[in-house]
Amino acid sequence: MKKGLIILFLLTMAVEINAQQKPRFSTQNSVGLLFGGSDNAPQVQTVNGIAYRNWFAGIGTGIDWYVQRSIPLFLSGNRFFNLGQRRQFFLATGAGANFPWGNPGEFFSNGWTSYGSSYKPGIYLNAGLGYKMSVGKQNDNLLIQLGFNNKSHKEIVTATYPCFNPPCPESKETFNYKFNALSLKFGWGF
């Protein structure tokens, strides 16, 4: 009896697994605005990955102009909930690294002391709520998302003071930058 129930259970699971949708490539491309206490700025993002049933996971990047321009590189995940035919609500999240655009790295001197700085990457986090509406007969979708962005990075400033007996002493100072903003994104996906 127990063996029969186990075999029946395994056959049921095999049929259910075969009836499921297959994973497929999917992309989400968006433009948006970041709103914060320091500034308002645009952002552009693309996330490419795999969609399976009501889940989407991918790797994203873009350009973020909020306060200091940077390039986020992150892993993203979405969970979709059906609202009706061809409409879905979704929860989105992402985490990764934030790379400041460029590197000041320029050394300058005021005639007495030499200064220079360099940037170090930080953390990038985002989370949001969105709405997805299918258009056309393919897998094309319009996306709108309201969320929260957090990005950080470091700047290391080095100063070299003159001396009579080289090597001259260096002073290093580290500045930690953290920026929080609300985001409103509009996009296209398939």
Q: Chain-wide mean pLDDT for the chain?
A: 86
Which residues contact residue 140 at a Cβ distance below 8 angstroms, ignoring those fewer than 6 apart? 134, 188, 189, 190
| Residue range 17-47, pLDDT digits in tens | 444 579 999 999 999 999 998 789 999 999 9
Higher pLDDT residue, 136 or 33? 33
Region for 86 from its dihedrals, namely left if φ exceeds 0, alpha if ψ lies in -120 to 50, beta otherwise: left
DSSP 8-class letter at 67 = S
Burial level of 189, CB count in 10 A (0-12/13-18/19+)?
buried
- C-alpha to C-alpha distance for 30 and 19, rounded to whole angstroms: 33
Contact at 8 Å (CB) between 50 and 26? yes
Instruction: Determine the Cα angle at 31 with ends 26 and 34, to 5°.
Output: 125
Identify which of 93, 92, 96 has the alpha carbon closest to the alpha carbon of residue 152: 96
Tell me which amino acid residue 47 is.
Answer: V
User: How large is the average pLDDT for residues 125-134?
Assistant: 96
pLDDT, position 117: 83
Give me the phi and psi of 126, to 5 degrees please.
-150, 155
Prediction pTM value: 0.81
Identify which of 150, 149, 147 has the alpha carbon closest to the alpha carbon of residue 185: 147
| Residue range 48-94, pLDDT digits in tens | 999 999 999 999 999 999 999 999 999 999 999 999 888 999 999 99
